[in-house]
Amino acid sequence: MALSKRAFIFDMDGTIVDNMSFHTASWITFFQRRGKDIDPDAFFIATAGRQGKEILHSYLGDHLDDAEIAALVHEKEAVYRELYEPHRKTVAGFEQLVGLAKGPGVALAVATAAPPANIVFTLDGLDLRRHFDAIVGAADVARGKPEPDVFLLAAERCGVAPEHCIVFEDAPLGVEAARRAGMRAVVLTTTLPASAFAEFDNVIHIASDFSAFTIDALFAA
């Protein structure tokens, strides 16, 4: 596939859907079951964009084997889906933006740390899969954000050079992953204020939702 197009690459949780408070709530429940209390704000900053297995190893130890990790991830994500399902919807302006992007031939991808079941839950539950040329999740790459793997694979599957990709993110680890991938980033303040992203020189826009964006302005930034 020729590297000639431009691409929008969307993080999913906290970006396409405003659900990070439900993820945090499910982690709090998960850890409380094990006698551990976590600070929600600090936990989000430290973990948003990382894969579930990485979070579990960090908080519960490296002694857990793959089967134990898989079972624990399943438990946590089941709690999350039960909490978030009644609230499931896209962030304002998302479907309008992706509709506009298709006209000038902008490739569209999802690059998420979510496991397959959560990708199905969100993208199929909201009938969004039809919009995307590529979907990359936790099962497709070895390392989560802030490593750039998920964004680079999404760009490769779209046939677009990294410098012609714009990433949409809500978390510092995701913006750092975009920076390491050589991509510009648009930040949505669904969870953190704009000040949380002041250190990143690859951020071109910060907004509360997608409604104010135009295709030409984003790529001109």
- Catalytic residue numbers? 11, 13
Find where tokens 């984003």 sit.
218
Find where tokens 């896209």 sit.
90
Beta bridge partners of 7: 107, 165
Helix (H) or strand (E) holding 89: none
| Residue environment code for 116-133, b if the CB has 16+ CB neighbours within 10 A, otherwise e | eebbebbbebeebeebbb
Residue closest to 167 by CA, chosen among 16, 35, 58, 1: 16
CA angle 76, 11, 207 (to 5 degrees): 115
